[in-house]
Amino acid sequence: MALVRIPEENRTIEDEPAIAAFLAGHGIDYERWTDTADLAATAPPEAVLEAYAGRIAQLKARGGYVTADVIDVTAETPGLEGMLARFNSEHWHDEDEVRFIVEGRGLFHIHPPQGPVFAIEVEAGDLIRVPKGTHHWFDLCADRRIRAIRLFQDPSGWTPQYTSSGVDRAFQPLCFGPRYFPPTGPTVTA
């Protein structure tokens, strides 16, 4: 499940309905798809799209998206750092940024017109729609692994428009990972 952090307020949101409500307040759609497909790590893009064909059709109907593809990278992907450098400084797009995370993790930072910058850590099973025009940037987590379905209204509209604000440089791309939250039961010491 996703995790939202608002560094300026020293606040973390970890509860799914609270995350969805907070993001909705910024025009961002967030859903959890619990019926995730059982796909091999080596499954080709076509198999990923096939496994989620029903869901993709629903999203296309809902949001006017016409195409879908799969981004699939690991730490070993040639040119990865150059690819990431296109998206890890503040930018916006002429169309929505829609991602369903199939595997791995990633970190969006959102810079709203009013209010502090916040981070959304996404992981497998998370669907996110960042509306067009939203100022944001994206990083991978330290493990450099993500496989995600991307949906486009018009792929040419997805060119990053950089703000050159420098705001992104004030935030470290820190992910906490699935084990960030300690168990709530009593602490047992050996």
- The Cα 77–Cα 148 span in angstroms is 15
Closest separation between CB of residue 132 and Fe ion, Å?
10
> What residues have CB less than 8 Å from 25, skipping those under 6 apart?
none
Nearest alpha carbon to residue 140 among 99, 112, 179? 99
Closest separation between CB of residue 163 and Fe ion, Å?
12
- Identity of the residue, 97 or 123, whose beta carbon is nearer to Fe ion in the bound complex: 97
- Identity of the residue, 43 or 110, whose beta carbon is nearer to Fe ion in the bound complex: 110
- Identity of the residue, 82 or 185, whose beta carbon is nearer to Fe ion in the bound complex: 82
Element (H, E) at 13: strand 11-13
- The phi, psi pair for 54, rounded to 5°, reads -65, -45
- Identity of the residue, 97 or 103, whose beta carbon is nearer to Fe ion in the bound complex: 97
- Identity of the residue, 45 or 131, whose beta carbon is nearer to Fe ion in the bound complex: 131
Can you say how many angstroms the Cα of residue 26 is from the centroid of all Cα atoms in its chain? 15
Three-class SS state of 9 = helix
Q: State the binding string over 87-106 for Fe ion (x if CB under 5 A, else -).
A: ----------x---------
In the region spanning residues 136 to 175, those forming contacts with Fe ion, defined by CB under 5 A, are: none
Closest separation between CB of residue 167 and Fe ion, Å?
14
Strand partners, 97: 130
Nearest alpha carbon to residue 90 among 142, 155, 166? 166
Closest separation between CB of residue 96 and Fe ion, Å?
10
- The phi, psi pair for 137, rounded to 5°, reads -150, 165
Closest separation between CB of residue 92 and Fe ion, Å?
7
The residues that touch Fe ion, with contacts defined as CB under 5 A, are: 97
